[in-house]
Structure 1
Amino acid sequence: MMQQFYPSVPHAYRFELNKDMNFSAAHFIPHAEAGKCQTVHGHTYFVNVTVAGNELDASDFLIDFKLLKDAIHKKYDHSVLNDHPEFNGKFPTTERLAEQIWQSIEAILKTRDNKPSCLQVIVRETPTSYVVYRPEQGWLR
């Protein structure tokens, strides 16, 4: 994977980790304004997840990188995004995908004793286009 530099989130946490990962998936956007994207097509999505916190876990990790990758890669790799229940009633755009990835990661982090937070998710759909998802202000624990 080519090294990427992404926008950072200002914060006061002691630790920050970033995990890059990728997966291949297909989707379509069934809306008249979607143009060619109305037809099923695929992407190799590149994802960056930023997690931060003040405390490490019993293994001295903020969170194990593998847990982050497994949660996303196993869920979406070689699938049709439209078939996932979290997109029921929503179009599986890159914006919605970034939001859903954040929700999946945040759900895992909430179960951790050290309570880290997911600050942002970046999803690159093509070499020239990406989306940054950040939760609304006030969500931090």
Structure 2
Amino acid sequence: MIQQFYPQTPHTYRFELNKDMHLSAAHFIPHDDAGNCQYMHGHTYFINITIAGDELDEMGFLIDFKVIKNLIHKKYDHTVLNDHPEFKQKNPTTEQVAETIWSTIQQKLNTLSNQPKCIQVVVRETPTSYVVYRPKAEDLL
């Protein structure tokens, strides 16, 4: 994988973890204005997840990298995004995918005693197009 550099979000946490991954998935946007995107097609998504916090767990991690990969890659790789329950009421646009990944990660982080926060998710759909999702401060409480 080519090393990517992503927009940074300022924060005051002591630690910042970044996890890159890629997955292959298909989707379609069932809307007349979506042009060719209304038809089933696939992407190799490149995803960067940024987690920050002040405290490490008993092993010395904010969170183990493999936990992040298992939450996202195992769930979505080689699937049709529209078939997932979380996309039944919303279209799996890159924006919605980024927000959904953030929500999935943050729900897991909320169960950890050291309380790290997911402060950014970048989803690259094509070599020239990506979305950055950053939660509002109140979403991190």
TM-score by length of structure 1 reads 0.98
**Following TM superposition, by how much is the alpha carbon of 1:10 offset from its aligned partner in structure 2, in angstroms?**
0.4
**Are positions 1:114 and 2:114 aligned together?**
yes
Cα distance in 2 for residues equivalent to 1:62 and 1:136:
21
Partner of 1:103: 103
Distance 1:9 1:139 in 2: 15
Give the 3-state SS of the residue equivalent to 2:138 in structure 1. Answer: coil
Unmatched 5+ residue regions in structure 1? none
Match of 1:74 in 2: 74
Runs of 4 or more, structure 1, over 2 Å off, are: 137-141
Does 1:36 pair with 2:41? no
Distance 2:101 2:138 in 1: 19
**How far apart in 2 are the matches of 1:46 and 1:140?**
24
Distance in 2 of aligned mates of 1:43 and 1:140: 30
Structure-1 residue corresponding to 2:49: 49
- Which whole-Å CA distance do the structure 1 matches of 2:70 and 2:38 have between them? 29
* Amino acid aligned to 1:122: V
**Alignment RMSD:** 0.8
How far apart in 2 are the matches of 1:82 and 1:3?
Answer: 29
TM-score (norm 2): 0.98
SS class of match (1:89)? coil
| 5+ long unaligned stretches in structure 2 | none
Q: Distance in 1 between matches of 2:38 and 2:24?
A: 18
